[in-house]
A and B are shown apart, each in its own frame.
Chain A
Amino acid sequence: MKQRPQDRTEQMGATRRDFLERTACLASGIAFMSVAATRSSRATPETMTAAIRKTVGEAPIRKGKVMIDVPPLVENGNTVPVSVSVDSPMTASDYVKSIHLFNEKNPQPYLIDAYFSPRSGKAALSTRIKLADAQKIVAVAQLSDGSFWSDEADVIVTIAACVEDLQ
């Protein structure tokens, strides 16, 4: 490390402990900044809740009827198979209008929005998603009577998608 002459005299008087404390402080500062920088570009449980509220509005969300089928442990976050189904007769008077999927820790909280009609026959879909981290995913379904139902699932991802994926 290059030092100016006046600094050097100061340094001579400083103890080894002082020096260690300063460097530790600096290192933790840098570490904190880098954590803050990566976190700011990620969705959080709060942003997921906000995204759900934006879709659902003020209506209460009840647990049940919806079922997420996703492997609990996936190796590659770039393609995670996920299926969502809702228990519904899918008649003209009682059917599932939509299914919305959300996540906690991707850069954005949205995954997919699917819209059904009684002609769908069955309120179910399967797709493949990207997950940036081990996290919780939430499915919310809107029924034709206006009620909302949900289910959640935890997924552990060993190789994350998108953020670490540099070419």
Chain B
Amino acid sequence: MTARTLINVPAKARRGEIIEIKTLIAHPMETGYRVGLNGALIPRDIITNFRCTYDGEEIFRAEFSRAIAANPFLTFFAVATKTGTITFEWTGDNGFAATEQAPITVE
């Protein structure tokens, strides 16, 4: 199963420019504190880690807690150094893993 993602990276940037990157991934982020219809706790199911690499080099990393809202949204920044690909990786409970890529052209 692949999770739906929304990624916003500018297609073009000047060398050295600081670009804003926005990511959104569809995920319930079940906290593990809610009670289901049968009275039992719904087990925790969250995304725990996010990593963003630019041509293989890590530029941003985050560890999520249970307190991140459903469909985790994240905005951060990067320096546009050269034309290449920006890779996004999410990993979480129950073997959840998602990878997305976005190309960027640097002039």
Q: Which residues of A contact B59 (CB under 8 A)?
A: 116-117, 119-120
Q: How far is the CA of A132 from the CA of B19 in the complex (A)?
A: 33
Q: Is the CB of B67 within 8 A of A130?
A: yes
Q: Could you tell me the dominant secondary structure of chain B's interface residues?
A: strand
We find that the number of chain B residues with CB closer than 8 angstroms to chain A is: 33
Q: How far is the CA of A121 from the CA of B19 in the complex (A)?
A: 8
From A164, which residue of chain B is reached at the shortest CB distance? B34
Interface residues of B in 50-103 (CB under 8 A from A): 54, 57-70, 72-79, 81
Q: How far is the CA of A129 from the CA of B18 in the complex (A)?
A: 25
Given the interface pairs A108-B67, A162-B31, A162-B34, the reply to whether A125 lies near B74 with Cβ below 8 Å is: yes
Interface residues on A, range: 35 or more
Q: Is the CB of A127 within 8 A of B72?
A: yes
Given the interface pairs A78-B69, A112-B64, A114-B61, the reply to whether A125 lies near B34 with Cβ below 8 Å is: no
Q: Is the CB of A122 within 8 A of B18?
A: yes
Indicate which residue in B35, B64, B72, B79 contacts A121 across the interface (CB closer than 8 Å): B79
Q: Is the CB of B67 within 8 A of A121?
A: no
From B74, which residue of chain A is reached at the shortest CB distance? A127
Q: Which residues of A contact B19 (CB under 8 A)?
A: 121
From B31, which residue of chain A is reached at the shortest CB distance? A162
Does A19 belong to the interface (CB within 8 Å)? no
Does A166 belong to the interface (CB within 8 Å)? yes
Q: How far is the CA of A115 from the CA of B53 in the complex (A)?
A: 12
Q: Is the CB of B62 within 8 A of A167?
A: no
Q: Is the CB of B77 within 8 A of A107?
A: no
